[in-house]
Amino acid sequence: MTIAARPVSHIHQPRQKYSARRTEVDGITFASKMEAAYYLELCRLRDAGDVRSFVLQPAFVLQPTFRKNGTLYRAITYVADFGVVWKDGRKTVVDVKGMKTPVFALKQKLYTRLYDEPLVLVTKTKGGWKEWV
């Protein structure tokens, strides 16, 4: 019995949760087209002088690693999409999403308890970008 190998073109990537499609811009792979579009918006705002700087995927510890009854529990971290410093010095942490998920709502509460910079959820609408604080 001979088993024929399937061509690589028939191997499918698993579908992203919430139908997001990975998108590459400036050699950077983003988790979705919307996240890539917000990156381009931040680049435009930086070039216009409205944004001093921004970083991709800043990470925040929401609960440190701990050991209890001999079991090691890993840290809970939250990785945002962007950290932004605006021209007036304000700092915000931005997550780009098509909708507010239950996991995001929980992580937003934990983040807000520990960190001072506002965590903003941003989504793209027909009229532009919409923020939820």
Output the average pLDDT for the chain: 86
Q: Which residues of 54-89 are buried (b: 16+ CB within 10 A; e: fewer)?
A: beeebebebeeeeeeeeeeeeeeebebbbbbbeeee
pLDDT at 61 over 70: yes
Report in angstroms the alpha-carbon separations of 31 from 81, 91, 112.
9, 23, 24
37 in a domain, yes or no?
Answer: no
Residue 28 maps to a domain? no
Q: In this predicted structure, what is the pLDDT of residue 8?
A: 46
Q: β-pairing, 119-125 with 91-96?
A: parallel
Element (H, E) at 43: helix 33-48
For residue 84, being part of any structural domain is answered with yes
Residue 69, pLDDT > 60, answer yes
pLDDT grade, residue 32 (50/70/90)? confident
The pLDDT value recorded for residue 115 is 97
Which residue range is the domain that position 65 belongs to?
A: 52-132
Residue 81 lies in a domain: yes
Question: What is the distance between the alpha carbons of residues 46 and 40, in angstroms, rounded to a whole number?
Answer: 10
- Domain total in the chain: 1
Give the pLDDT confidence of 4-23 residue by residue, as tens digits.
444 444 444 445 555 567 87
